[in-house]
Amino acid sequence: NLRVLIPLIETSHYQFYQVLALAKSLEIRGAHVKVLLCDSRLNGCELKSIRTPKSDPCLTCRFNQNNTVSLFGLDVIKLSDFIDDEKVIQIHKASSQISSAYPKEFYYKGINIIPMTNDSVTRYYFGNVPDVESDKLLQLVRTQHLETAMIGVDVSNAIYSSWKPDALIGNMNVYSAWEPYYRVAHDKNIKS
């Protein structure tokens, strides 16, 4: 009866097949597994970068979410199950304010979201982050990843409070899209 949460989030990298195969093997052995997907809810994620075409960066994930993930027959939950549009608007306003001041630390519900945001911004620019703090794109990217981190903290708190997983498994534990789930799990003594 082990409860396992897998914050898969995105489904465009080939590794998502391996993670889903692991999830299925755990389920076959008696674990209750929930797989968390983005559902195009995040403005900042690893897939969106300076090199990504802006037309529809969520296309591959959305296709795999709708056509491939279901083949594994797992219990899938989505960010949109936990966070509504009104909350996203509130988080966006807060993340914009944080981004304009951009402190060295900012704790959102007990989690310092600045380091994971910095890692995500570095990933967005492939290491070539602009030196100019007033750069409009830099501020936008920071805002998007702060927003993603805050959504992750809120969603992980909601899942951990309602479903109470025993363990957290995944192939990513960095960047704003994944790290909140591991930070909150650590604070709640959930194995990861």
* Length in residues, the chain: 192
Mean pLDDT over each residue of the chain, to the nearest integer: 94
Q: What is the pLDDT of residue 55?
A: 83
Query: What is the token pair recorded at 62?
Result: 């959305």
Phi, psi of 8 (to 5 degrees): -70, -35
Q: What is the mean pLDDT of residues 118-125?
A: 96
Q: What is the pLDDT of residue 112?
A: 98
What does the pLDDT look like over 43-80, one tens digit per residue? 999 889 998 877 888 999 999 999 999 999 999 999 99
pLDDT at 178 over 90: yes
Instruction: Look at strands 111-112 and 107-108 and give their pairing.
Output: antiparallel
Alpha-carbon separation of residue 10 from 54, 100, 172 (angstroms): 17, 28, 10
Q: What is the mean pLDDT of residues 6-35?
A: 96
pLDDT at 134 over 90: no
User: What is the C-alpha separation between 10 and 110, in angstroms, rounded?
Assistant: 25
Weakest mean pLDDT among 69-73, 132-136, 175-179: 132-136
